[in-house]
Amino acid sequence: MARFIKILAITAIASFCLRTFSDNKADVDLWGNVGFVKALPWHDGFHYTNAFSFTEPDRPWINHEWLSEYIFHVVHAGTGNTGLLALKLLLGLCVMALVAASVHRTTKPGPPTFFYLLLVVCTMGYGYGTRPHHFSYVLYSLMLYCLQNHQRNRVVMLVLFPVLAVIWANLHGAFFIGLLLLIAFGVLSRFDGEDRPPAWLPAAGVALFLAVTPINPYGLRLWEFIFQSGVKFRPYLSEWAPFNPMRHFADHADFVVLVLISLPAIVFSRKPRKPSHLGILALSLAGALLMRRNIPLFAITAGFLVTEHIEDAARKPLDRIVSVLPQPALAVVLCCFTILSAWFAVTFDKEAPLEIEVSRESFAVDAVSFMERNGIKGNTLAFFDWAEYCIWHIPGCPVFLDGRFRSAYGVEVIDDYFEFLYAGPGWTRALDAYPTDIVLLHKGNPAFAAMASRKDWVLVFKGITARLFLKMSVHEKFIRALAKGQVAMVEQQQEAIFP
């Protein structure tokens, strides 16, 4: 019966992963992640310049996610939305499989491990859209697993880490996290006592990792971009903002609980606490506090390095609580949990669980549909969250700025864009210094009210959240046709399906 209970517990965690990782809501980068890269670097269709913008179309573009985006494109072309969702789920399950393998090696799992891994999965769910980040999560997890088992895998690591570095440097710009992990391990493991690796091992790992990362379409320019991007503060992006417990508690209660459980467990655990593990955990926590997008990385790190301490510190009290339930009753509870998780994975906040749903309240679906139906084309200054949606649906409308930021745009363009969006002192520069003739804004953008003062611009469409302005001198014919009621309108439904 005990073996059966263990199988049920594993199934319950897998079902909870399905529920957490199966989020099917579109995020702002979806269309770029699927549509930017449709050819390999050695083909003519691969873009080395900012081809999707009218502000800097010839500016070199360092696409630090090109391989991920190519994979997403191929998967979507072959299997559609369902394939993208399946790939995302598979990558999440790979991470948890590596965590589970680590847990199995370091401790004898019991009820504390079960509940703690559920919390880890829940915390990992932040921002779990179709994004290149998931490849980084898998590769980071694989490196953590190898470092935990450095005594068994030393030769394998020297071969594996350079391979991972090449793959990671092409999949996602967060590959530098792998290098930081190796450096932190190399320095901190010197204090691990008898279990420390020979000094040459992490040093060789760092050297090999660095040596092969220029094997990418951009060479050393990729590192130049990483350095420039890493020091750029982005207060206008919520996931790049520091974690604020007052403002973000509702979105990250699981993260707060994970931290509040993990730290006491490490203190009260009787198991040895390796300085390298504590240092890596502390660095991942600092990263999560400094930037919300790093919260899943902390959850993964905690799954690897804290679970054994949770098991040691909480095993006896939880065993006493669980022992109150007869094993058949415990099996029923686990079965019910598994079924409910699977049920919620299919039904919770989903109209079409095997499709990627696009909320008309979050995206300018109605306004873009209006532009498509009426053949409105031109240089489009779109609300940042909608820019890649516009690139996908109205390719005849190059955008002012999109989510590629510093990888494809200069500082001046970015500053002019946000000066306009927030109606700063120089907000009109984005209209007057650039050939902008279409403006698509969220009704909550400060620039929306400011646009009303411009006599040379006309508000031609009001959607659920979108407001569409056209420049009179460029779109006079359409504006006059609109005044006469001679244009096609659109229905404002609640949901759309990608694409």
The pLDDT tens digits for 145-172 are 999 887 766 777 788 899 999 999 999 9
| Overall average pLDDT of the 359-371 stretch | 92
Tokens representing 351? 């109209």
Distance CA 326, CA 200 (A): 53
Q: Which amino acid is at 75?
A: V
Closest C-alpha to 464, from 481, 442, 448, 447: 442
Distance CA 256, CA 245 (A): 8
| Overall average pLDDT of the 463-492 stretch | 88
Closest C-alpha to 143, from 163, 124, 123: 163
Length of the chain: 499
pLDDT given at position 96? 96
pLDDT given at position 234? 64
DSSP at 46 = S
The percent of residues above 70 in pLDDT, for the chain, comes to 97
Top pLDDT among 475 and 200 is at 475
pLDDT given at position 487? 83
Longest dimension (CA), the chain: 84
Q: What are phi and psi of 469, to 5 degrees?
A: -115, 145
What is residue 172's three-state secondary structure?
coil
Structural contact between residues 394 and 380, judged by C-beta atoms closer than 8 angstroms: yes
pLDDT > 70? residue 493: no
**Confidence tier at 219 by pLDDT (50, 70, 90):** very high
Q: Which amino acid is at 8?
A: L
Least confident residue range of 51-55, 60-64, 145-149: 145-149
Mark out the alpha helices in 127-268 (DSSP H runs).
133-148, 154-171, 176-188, 200-212, 221-230, 245-248, 253-268
pLDDT > 70? residue 495: no
Distance CA 93, CA 88 (A): 9
Q: Which residues make Cβ contacts (< 8 Å) with residue 204, sequence separation at least 6?
A: 158
281-287 contact pairs (CB < 8 A, 24+): 281/305, 281/306, 283/180, 283/184, 285/259
Quickly list DSSP for 300-355.
HHHHHHTHHHHHHHHHHHHHHHHTTS-HHHHHHHHHHHHHHHHHHHHHTT-SSTTS
pLDDT digits (tens, 9 = 90+) for 274-304: 999 999 999 999 999 999 999 999 999 999 9
The percent of residues above 90 in pLDDT, for the chain, comes to 71
Structural contact between residues 430 and 417, judged by C-beta atoms closer than 8 angstroms: yes
Least confident residue range of 365-379, 463-477, 478-492: 478-492
Mark out the alpha helices in 361-487 (DSSP H runs).
365-373, 387-393, 411-421, 429-432, 446-451, 472-483
**Confidence tier at 401 by pLDDT (50, 70, 90):** very high
- pTM value surpassing 0.85: yes
| Overall average pLDDT of the 303-320 stretch | 89
pLDDT > 90? residue 381: yes
How far, rounded to the nearest angstrom, does the alpha carbon of residue 158 sit from its chain's CA centroid?
A: 29
pLDDT given at position 348? 85
Q: Domain-by-domain residue ranges, the chain? A: 2-347, 360-497
Least confident residue range of 7-11, 107-111, 165-169: 107-111
| Overall average pLDDT of the 311-317 stretch | 87
Structural contact between residues 422 and 383, judged by C-beta atoms closer than 8 angstroms: no
Structural contact between residues 438 and 458, judged by C-beta atoms closer than 8 angstroms: no
Structural contact between residues 403 and 129, judged by C-beta atoms closer than 8 angstroms: no
CA-derived radius of gyration, the chain: 25
* Apex 422 CA angle, 234 and 416, nearest 5: 70
pLDDT digits (tens, 9 = 90+) for 243-276: 988 888 888 999 999 999 999 999 999 998 999 9
pLDDT given at position 14? 95
Top pLDDT among 221 and 325 is at 221
Mean pLDDT score of the chain:
91
pLDDT > 90? residue 102: yes
pLDDT > 60? residue 494: no
Relative to beta strand 380-382, strand 438-442 is parallel
pLDDT > 90? residue 196: no
pLDDT given at position 317? 82
